[in-house]
Amino acid sequence: MSDTDAPDSSDGPAPSDADGPADWLVDLRRDLHRHPEPAWREFYTTNRIVEAIEDLEIDGLSLFVGPEALDLDARSGVPDETELAPWRERAREIGVPEDRLETLDGGRTGLVARLDRGDGPHVALRVDIDGLPVTESDADEHVPAAEGFRSENEGAMHACGHDGHATIGVGTLAAVADSDFRGTFTVCFQPAEEIIGGGRAIAESGHLEGVDELIAIHLGLDHPTGEVVAGMDGILAVRQIRAHFEGETAHAGKHPQAGRNAVQAMAAAVQNLYAIPRHVDGVTRVNAGRVEGGTASNVIPDSAVIEGEVRGETTELKEYMSDHADRVLEGAATMHDCAVDVVTTGEAPSADSDPELRTVVAEAARGTVGIDSVLDQAPLGGSEDATFLMRKVQAQGGRATFVDIGTDHPGGHHTGTFDVDEASIAIGVDLLGEVVRRLGGS
Amino acid sequence: MSDTDAPDSSDGPAPSDADGPADWLVDLRRDLHRHPEPAWREFYTTNRIVEAIEDLEIDGLSLFVGPEALDLDARSGVPDETELAPWRERAREIGVPEDRLETLDGGRTGLVARLDRGDGPHVALRVDIDGLPVTESDADEHVPAAEGFRSENEGAMHACGHDGHATIGVGTLAAVADSDFRGTFTVCFQPAEEIIGGGRAIAESGHLEGVDELIAIHLGLDHPTGEVVAGMDGILAVRQIRAHFEGETAHAGKHPQAGRNAVQAMAAAVQNLYAIPRHVDGVTRVNAGRVEGGTASNVIPDSAVIEGEVRGETTELKEYMSDHADRVLEGAATMHDCAVDVVTTGEAPSADSDPELRTVVAEAARGTVGIDSVLDQAPLGGSEDATFLMRKVQAQGGRATFVDIGTDHPGGHHTGTFDVDEASIAIGVDLLGEVVRRLGGS
Amino acid sequence: MSDTDAPDSSDGPAPSDADGPADWLVDLRRDLHRHPEPAWREFYTTNRIVEAIEDLEIDGLSLFVGPEALDLDARSGVPDETELAPWRERAREIGVPEDRLETLDGGRTGLVARLDRGDGPHVALRVDIDGLPVTESDADEHVPAAEGFRSENEGAMHACGHDGHATIGVGTLAAVADSDFRGTFTVCFQPAEEIIGGGRAIAESGHLEGVDELIAIHLGLDHPTGEVVAGMDGILAVRQIRAHFEGETAHAGKHPQAGRNAVQAMAAAVQNLYAIPRHVDGVTRVNAGRVEGGTASNVIPDSAVIEGEVRGETTELKEYMSDHADRVLEGAATMHDCAVDVVTTGEAPSADSDPELRTVVAEAARGTVGIDSVLDQAPLGGSEDATFLMRKVQAQGGRATFVDIGTDHPGGHHTGTFDVDEASIAIGVDLLGEVVRRLGGS
Amino acid sequence: MSDTDAPDSSDGPAPSDADGPADWLVDLRRDLHRHPEPAWREFYTTNRIVEAIEDLEIDGLSLFVGPEALDLDARSGVPDETELAPWRERAREIGVPEDRLETLDGGRTGLVARLDRGDGPHVALRVDIDGLPVTESDADEHVPAAEGFRSENEGAMHACGHDGHATIGVGTLAAVADSDFRGTFTVCFQPAEEIIGGGRAIAESGHLEGVDELIAIHLGLDHPTGEVVAGMDGILAVRQIRAHFEGETAHAGKHPQAGRNAVQAMAAAVQNLYAIPRHVDGVTRVNAGRVEGGTASNVIPDSAVIEGEVRGETTELKEYMSDHADRVLEGAATMHDCAVDVVTTGEAPSADSDPELRTVVAEAARGTVGIDSVLDQAPLGGSEDATFLMRKVQAQGGRATFVDIGTDHPGGHHTGTFDVDEASIAIGVDLLGEVVRRLGGS
């Protein structure tokens, strides 16, 4: 970030004006967009956010980076060294300092920022920061391609708007710091949301102890710029799995009968996973999102993998799907004399937004410039490990809501043409700054 | 290869003695074994064979390396630059000269050696030189692991004995050069056999024009050391394919119906490919040897691939399987609203060994030290693109046979514990040297 | 029906008292229960209802039996003579008169009763009368078995309570006839609901012209005795199909390749039908409820059939499922070189209950003895061709609702242990009598 | 059979002349063809054969009918009363006497005829007599349809030539009786071959004790009229199974998740049964020849059945297929939370024809009018429970062969257009009469 882009610290930060987000927020968002990093590999991202916050020179702020932000035992889906190494190397090449890399290495990315402003309620904001293994569009009509901030990490992309989420987190921190808010304000920049890997680690980190009000946010979700949903419901419970089928290899021409064909087992499983009966109690989902098996066309495959997931509108429905999936995987292995090993790589419960907190958000939204439609509730349809944080706060008597800030997105979430309307970043910062102020003592 | 290992050129080469292959042949074989390279990536292998032959300092020898050995238009399965690059780089690192790499690059590996020894018949020997994408065993009882010549290219392995084939090719060249053979003797060191990619390119290269007798060889094939099969039959016709299913991606939780699921299509295809009806006219085979699809557990997969093959005891049976496979792939795509693109990556006909040439081999075998069992015929059960060379020679009025030289192999072909008994390399060199001498004018 | 059971016509009918339905209604229900007849085979049932109504000797009543009650062109799923014959024969044997059989034969069952009571609104009630191909439980704890009115038509059963619906229809007619109702009251005794075959034929018969208010009813649906739902929503749109795969037969041992295997095609279709992606817009369903194929274990099957259905919470969702199912069936046939012929055997749209009419029902329910829980709305989850009638009336400016009258049912709908609590029949008659009275001019 | 057709007993029987079979044999064959009866239901067939033999008034003949011909404990696949009843009734209607029906009832059909002609070898002939559940063609070009002897039992057909086999059995008995044969000649008219149900029962009946030479026969098998195969090899070992999947029923719209779907389990099994890996040791077969499941389109099916088979070129290969099939069925049930019960309904080993006996047959064939091509051996490709009889005789030191008598058959075996050329019946009688005479003492 160049000096000229930095907010003038003497005047205090100015995260937005009437026409959209401040230039420095746009720059931050675009820089993050150019450097998407998948779950637990957010080396550059974490460092960039730390630098952006430090540039704000906020009084009373504490930063907890990497291991200080997480319960390391509560993480899931941490990749091994061979998967981490190239991302760490890439971050090194574009200037992330060596000691920061060391801090974050081994699946210890993310940060928590806490602003202490005297007595008053403890309000928390949760944003997520990881990218996806999606290849970004290079079409002319795709704004990041046209305006030069398309992903530089080919095959990875901020295809779910977490670049915007992180930026809103920083912007809101600036806005609250600049306000008369009384109390404690914590912003959790959570890693590894896409693999349901980091939510529980933040929830169990201790940073949520004593939190009275938690706001988790998302951009878009098929709501346009100017629309806000005060509390999403229908956040699907989810279990992500990795099923590894193991058989025996053989020459496909000379000894087909000597093999135990792991790809046949995998294919039988895929066919029948999607065919788990629908459930009358509500929404269910299943996906075999990534599969792989075998080595060469003339070798009976002795190994195959399904990386997939089941979801349910409630935790019970997720369990229903999960039990069925286990049976399907087991039966498919039996059919082809293979063994199957099923590992849960991520899991999150469903959660509900609290009506009172929804009301606070909705009222603030009605007074925010740029917002012309406020919905009290709407279904998410997807999953989110923000539910771990929401349930944590609710369990200790606090309230939580999952707020959607609409944004015009040309392509769907998780596709190569996804993009966010940067106007929604300013809206998000303004709205959340106001909500936090209202929740604070003053 | 160190000087001390090289044959003493003044005495002429001595490829074997009573106790097994000469040390330099063992060294050659083990060096090739340590550096297995898959189809069209035989940079080190080709160079190493060239050097070994040049060390022999044979009179009347011409070498045709890379593009000079091939009809480039007749190749199939040549990988793209991203797949070639790391192998080229690895070869460079272990000393293959830059100009040799340039010659061989772009899928132009392999060589042909021709020995001109005056008037007489033109006899040809065909050996293959490529490795397989199989991970070699590191168990103590696996000889290459125990004796220090296990694959240094992790994930690749000489699991079909082509290291031995190439060594026998060099050894036989040395033996024939040192004999009173009259005529022309051509040794084809063919690349890319495992993907049925190089046979036709050698067959159409021009080097087989005028060949009267062709001998193709293989080690092992479930025959023990000391057993020789004068002519394999049942060489299965084969077609190798790459089927690419293309659908549409979507968020698996929010919009499952918006996807067109390529992995579902692929799984349906796999299930039904293996279920193509058996045929009363003879042996058929089918395998989906490598499959892959999708990107992440929460994304509907828009892409999936099957690399597979069909085989038949006759070319007609292969066609039967092939037609059926095309229908299955098409139907599977239709089911899930995907498109499928099926590319034939390799194809070879069946072929028969000529009885008269079989007799020559069988008689020579009965007089060879170390051979105690001679079979006139036995079924191969697998496929081989040597059939292109056999049919080429037969079509121009010559004779061809596919000889098996038994070897005790602990693991099956194409498995991580495969190995050859080095004694069989000496047997091969002695037998083939004698066969070529008998076929030559003198 | 014996004379002593008949209502005393001088006093007018007395369809219920405080303790439950009148004996004659219980007798009627049990007699219908003993003689369940599947769709379009309701010979005995139709005749029995006609007789029960005639016994009531109601003034101003017109009966329209069989073809007079239906638009014959709007029927679907009418079975052929070989399927009708045994049911007609059975009805003959237990005393249905020859001329009645003739009237009803060929898929012309059911009746409409119209009561003309001067000026006033036209109110209609729709009940259905057909049984299911389910084998009734003979367990001691199954009341019909214990009390001697278990199905006498082995393999057929009133497993969805239509015996109770028909009885309520007759009872309500009696109650309304005995009241001060002013206007026209039409009761449609609809055949062939279970196969979605008769609803459109009643809707298009002309008997609904001028109807202002339509009430369709169902017993049970997981609501207990004493609970009433004033208007069900979530009536799933449905399409029922019969897919016939045709291949070619062959000797399974001698010529497996000569067959074109219709059972393989069918199995591939079943696997993939259930795997049609779930839809974010709402509930979808799919079932391959009856399948059959082939002739003997040693013959390649040349024929196979799926009788199945797709449903959706809206007509659009049903179309989504339907399009997908057609693709799956087509692709499965392609895979195995078979032809497939898909016939729609029944189809019904979704429909919504009108709020104003719901309110009338709810208010009447709150005043009805025996009803202790009144729900304004609840989801049906199943399908119903009553939607044809509802949409017909709504399209001409009238109002419609689908009322559920709770009943304690030990087994689920469509299972062999289903039964209705006869107390709910009295409740239904009382409630509907009151609703009709309230809707009538007076 | 009319008097005029009967052989003149004073002259002895004349089963054939130069132009084809005697009229009475043609009449017998056509009468059997008109009345095909599936396995264990051969009421009319058995009775008709008994009458034909009794009409021959042969000296020294003993008849063993029904239970006297069988080891009842060694039968398999006997249908239950509901399946037997309509066939018994039909036989009664066309004149089979009541006491004969009683004898044969309960799966006790078939007969053995023994001719005692003094000292000498014991020679046995085995023919089978059952029909198939195939619908016979009614096309003009189908001879039985054109000439008025098409099956009168709609849906059943002599589609494998057993009508001809039985006729040859009777004709050969007549021919041997009229010759100078010395020794014992036993003809086994075996029931239930098509379901592999009767062979073991005849083999264990005691009638084969002391048999020195056994000839089993078949017509056709893709060999034309005038060709004879002295000994078939490649008689596939077979196991026929009935797999019953049991799940749980539920309403497909309201409670899809409450079902345990037996049709899904069955479909998964079918898909994967056909996909059992091919075996390098020889021919394997698999078929799911008849499947059925569920009751109605809107009910989750709780029951499904596969009637299928596996075969192998050797008994070991059959076991390989059988083990794999069991795994597939088990795995498929597991997948969908169903139970599966697998019953072996028939099983027969492979068997080889003895070379010496083959030679006797081949030599006799070369001297028989009408035979112009004699093959020593040819593969059957199908299965036959004659192997039980062959192995029984071979085990006691005797010899056995399975002879094919070529016949021009327009349609394939087990198809609706199959028919035999009646000229081959005369050829069969002449050949077998001569073989038996040569084997007899004289």
Q: Do D299 and C134 touch (CB under 8 A)?
A: yes
Q: What pLDDT is stored for residue D16 in this prediction?
A: 63
Of C413, C240, C204, C201, the closest CA to residue C318 belongs to C240
Q: What pLDDT is stored for residue B1 in this prediction?
A: 26
User: How far apart (Å, rounded) are the C-alpha atoms in residues D426 and D219?
Assistant: 12
Q: What is the CA radius of gyration of chain D?
A: 23
User: How far apart (Å, rounded) are the C-alpha atoms in residues C52 and C167?
Assistant: 9
Q: Which residue has the tokens 């799984």?
A: B267
Q: Do C278 and A284 touch (CB under 8 A)?
A: yes
Q: Do C279 and B259 touch (CB under 8 A)?
A: no
Among candidates A264, A300, A332 on the partner chain, residue whose Cβ is nearest the Cβ of D335: A332
Q: What pLDDT is stored for residue C115 in this prediction?
A: 98
Angle at alpha carbon of residue C140, lines to C134 and C142, rounded to 5° = 45
Q: Do D297 and C291 touch (CB under 8 A)?
A: no
Q: How many other CB atoms are there within 10 angstroms of residue C132's CB atom?
A: 27
Whether pLDDT at D2 is above 60: no
Distance of CA B96 to the CA centre of its chain: 22
Q: What is the CA radius of gyration of chain A?
A: 23
Q: Which two tokens stand for residue A279?
A: 């459930």
User: What are the chain B neighbours of C275 within 8 Å (beta carbons)?
Assistant: 264
Whether pLDDT at D357 is above 60: yes
Residues of D engaging A, defined by a Cβ cutoff of 8 Å? 254-257, 259, 261, 264, 268, 271-272, 275, 277-281, 300, 320, 324, 327-328, 330-337
Tens digit of each residue's pLDDT (9 = 90 or more) over D58-91? 999 999 999 999 999 999 999 999 999 999 999 9
User: How far apart (Å, rounded) are the C-alpha atoms in residues B265 and B242?
Assistant: 14
Quote the minimal CA–CA distance from B127 to chain A in Å. Answer: 19
User: How far apart (Å, rounded) are the C-alpha atoms in residues A264 and A226?
Assistant: 50
Quote the minimal CA–CA distance from A8 to chain B in Å. Answer: 41
User: What are the chain C neighbours of B277 within 8 Å (beta carbons)?
Assistant: 256-257, 259, 261, 300
* C-beta of residue C49 within 8 angstroms of C-beta of residue C207: no
Q: Which two tokens stand for residue C346?
A: 């029944």
Q: Which residue has the tokens 């060191």?
A: B189
DSSP run (H or E) holding B287:
strand B284-294
Q: Do C277 and A274 touch (CB under 8 A)?
A: yes
User: How far apart (Å, rounded) are the C-alpha atoms in residues A65 and A191?
Assistant: 11
User: How far apart (Å, rounded) are the C-alpha atoms in residues B132 and B418?
Assistant: 12
Digitized pLDDT (tens) for each residue of chain B, 442 residues in all: 233 344 444 344 566 655 567 899 999 999 999 999 999 999 999 999 999 999 999 999 999 999 999 999 999 999 999 999 999 999 999 999 999 999 999 999 999 999 999 999 999 999 999 999 999 999 999 999 999 999 999 999 999 999 999 999 999 999 999 999 999 999 999 999 999 999 999 999 999 999 999 999 999 999 999 999 999 988 999 999 999 999 999 989 889 999 999 999 999 999 999 999 999 999 999 999 999 999 989 889 999 999 999 999 999 999 999 999 999 999 999 999 999 999 999 899 999 999 999 999 999 999 999 999 999 999 888 889 999 999 999 999 999 999 999 999 999 888 899 999 999 999 999 999 999 999 997 6
- Claim: this prediction has a pTM higher than 0.95: no
Residues of B engaging D, defined by a Cβ cutoff of 8 Å? 271-272, 274-275, 277-278, 280, 283-286, 381
DSSP run (H or E) holding B215:
strand B213-219
Q: Do C255 and B336 touch (CB under 8 A)?
A: no
Quote the minimal CA–CA distance from A253 to chain D in Å. Answer: 8
User: What are the chain C neighbours of B328 within 8 Å (beta carbons)?
Assistant: 335
User: How far apart (Å, rounded) are the C-alpha atoms in residues D371 and D407?
Assistant: 11
Q: Which two tokens stand for residue A242?
A: 């990795």
Q: Tell me which of C283, C326, C335, C336 to substitute to probe the interface with B (most B C-beta atoms closer than 10 Å).
A: C335
User: How far apart (Å, rounded) are the C-alpha atoms in residues A271 and A255?
Assistant: 27
Q: Do C272 and B334 touch (CB under 8 A)?
A: no
Q: What pLDDT is stored for residue C10 in this prediction?
A: 40
Q: Do B275 and D274 touch (CB under 8 A)?
A: yes
Q: Taking the domains of chain D in order of start, what are their residue ranges?
A: 3-235+351-439, 238-348
Q: Do C331 and B328 touch (CB under 8 A)?
A: no
Q: What pLDDT is stored for residue A381 in this prediction?
A: 80
Quote the minimal CA–CA distance from B364 to chain C in Å. Answer: 42
Q: What pLDDT is stored for residue B20 in this prediction?
A: 64
Q: What is the CA radius of gyration of chain C?
A: 23
Angle at alpha carbon of residue D310, lines to D309 and D314, rounded to 5° = 140
User: What are the chain C neighbours of A278 within 8 Å (beta carbons)?
Assistant: 278, 283-286
Of B435, B416, B352, B405, the closest CA to residue B164 belongs to B405
DSSP character for C256? G
User: What are the chain B neighbours of A270 within 8 Å (beta carbons)?
Assistant: 263-264, 266-267
DSSP run (H or E) holding D162:
helix D162-177
User: What are the chain C neighbours of B272 within 8 Å (beta carbons)?
Assistant: 264, 268, 335-336
Query: What DSSP assignment string belongs to D411-434?
Result: SPTTSTT----THHHHHHHHHHHH
User: How far apart (Å, rounded) are the C-alpha atoms in residues A51 and A54?
Assistant: 5
The residue ranking higher by pLDDT, C366 or C298, is C366
Report the pLDDT averaged over residues D191-215. 96
Q: Do A256 and B132 touch (CB under 8 A)?
A: no
List chains adjacent to chain D, taking adjacency as at least 3 C-beta pairs closer than 8 Å: A, B, C
User: How far apart (Å, rounded) are the C-alpha atoms in residues A358 and A361?
Assistant: 5
DSSP character for B72? G
Which parts of chain A register pLDDT below 50?
A: 1-12
Q: Which two tokens stand for residue D166?
A: 């039985």
User: Model confidence at C21, in pLDDT bands (50, 70, 90)?
Assistant: confident
Question: Strand runs (DSSP E) across C209-338, as ranges?
Answer: 213-219, 227-233, 237-246, 250-251, 284-294, 299-300, 303-312
Quote the minimal CA–CA distance from C340 to chain D in Å. Answer: 17
Angle at alpha carbon of residue A347, lines to B258 and C381, rounded to 5° = 50
Q: Tell me which of B255, B257, B260 to substitute to probe the interface with C (most C C-beta atoms closer than 10 Å).
A: B257
User: What are the chain A neighbours of D310 within 8 Å (beta carbons)?
Assistant: none
User: How far apart (Å, rounded) are the C-alpha atoms in residues C52 and C113?
Assistant: 12
Of A362, A419, A379, A380, the closest CA to residue A228 belongs to A362
Whether pLDDT at C27 is above 60: yes
Of D15, D219, B102, A268, the closest CA to residue C272 belongs to A268
Q: Please provide the average confidence, as pLDDT, over all residues in chain A.
A: 93
Q: Tell me which of A276, A278, A311, A383 to substitute to probe the interface with C (most C C-beta atoms closer than 10 Å).
A: A278
User: What are the chain A neighbours of C321 within 8 Å (beta carbons)?
Assistant: none
Q: What pLDDT is stored for residue A254 in this prediction?
A: 86
- Amino acid occupying residue D66: G
User: Model confidence at D20, in pLDDT bands (50, 70, 90)?
Assistant: low
Q: Mean pLDDT lowest for which of A36-40, C373-377, D9-13?
A: D9-13
Q: How many residues does chain D have?
A: 442
Q: What pLDDT is stored for residue B8 in this prediction?
A: 42
Q: Please provide the average confidence, as pLDDT, over all residues in chain C.
A: 93
Quote the minimal CA–CA distance from C276 to chain A in Å. Answer: 7
Q: What pLDDT is stored for residue A5 in this prediction?
A: 40
Whether domain B238-348 has CATH 3.40.190.150: the reply is no
Q: What pLDDT is stored for residue D310 in this prediction?
A: 97
User: How far apart (Å, rounded) are the C-alpha atoms in residues C353 and C229?
Assistant: 11
Of A172, A70, A73, the closest CA to residue A125 belongs to A172
Tens digit of each residue's pLDDT (9 = 90 or more) over D143-179? 999 999 999 999 999 999 999 999 999 999 999 999 9
Q: What pLDDT is stored for residue D380 in this prediction?
A: 87
- CATH number for the domain running over B3-235+351-439: 3.40.630.10
User: How far apart (Å, rounded) are the C-alpha atoms in residues D178 and A292?
Assistant: 74
Cβ partners under 8 Å of residue C417, min gap 6? C137, C139, C142, C410, C411
User: How far apart (Å, rounded) are the C-alpha atoms in residues C416 and A124?
Assistant: 56
Q: Tell me which of A248, A257, A323, A338 to substitute to probe the interface with D (most D C-beta atoms closer than 10 Å).
A: A257
Among candidates D275, D285, D381 on the partner chain, residue whose Cβ is nearest the Cβ of B275: D275
HEC states along chain A?
Answer: CCHHHCCCCCCCCCCEECCEECHHHHHHHHHHHHCCCCCCCCHHHHHHHHHHHHHHCCCCEEEEEHHHHCCHHHCCCCCCHHHHHHHHHHHHHCCCCHHHHHHHCCCCCCEEEEEEECCCCEEEEEEECCCECCCCCCCCCCHHHHCCCCCCCCCCECCCCHHHHHHHHHHHHHHHHCCCCEEEEEEEEECCCCCCCCHHHHHCCCCCCCCCEEEEEEECCCCCCCEEEEEEECECEEEEEEEEEECECEECCCCHHHCECHHHHHHHHHHHHCCCCCCCCCCEEEEEEEEEEECCCCEECCEEEEEEEEEECCHHHHHHHHHHHHHHHHHHHHHCCCEEEEEEEEEECCECCCHHHHHHHHHHHHCCCCCCEEEEEEECCCCCCHHHHHHHHHHCCCEEEEEEECCCCCCCCCCCCCCCCCHHHHHHHHHHHHHHHHHCEC
Q: Please provide the average confidence, as pLDDT, over all residues in chain D.
A: 93
Of C377, C402, C380, the closest CA to residue C389 belongs to C402
Quote the minimal CA–CA distance from C388 to chain D in Å. Answer: 18
User: What are the chain B neighbours of D285 within 8 Å (beta carbons)?
Assistant: 278
* C-beta of residue D303 within 8 angstroms of C-beta of residue D293: yes
Of C76, C129, C375, C40, the closest CA to residue C233 belongs to C375
Q: What is the CA radius of gyration of chain B?
A: 23
Among candidates A253, A264, A345 on the partner chain, residue whose Cβ is nearest the Cβ of B382: A253
User: How far apart (Å, rounded) are the C-alpha atoms in residues A54 and B4?
Assistant: 67
- The residue of chain A with its CA nearest to that of C269 is A271
User: What are the chain B neighbours of A416 within 8 Å (beta carbons)?
Assistant: 249
Quote the minimal CA–CA distance from C241 to chain B in Å. Answer: 17
Q: Do D334 and A320 touch (CB under 8 A)?
A: no
User: What are the chain D neighbours of A277 within 8 Å (beta carbons)?
Assistant: 256-257, 259, 261, 300
Please tell me if the domain spanning D3-235+351-439 has the same topology as the one spanning D238-348.
no
Among candidates A250, A267, A412 on the partner chain, residue whose Cβ is nearest the Cβ of B267: A267
User: What are the chain B neighbours of C330 within 8 Å (beta carbons)?
Assistant: 334-335
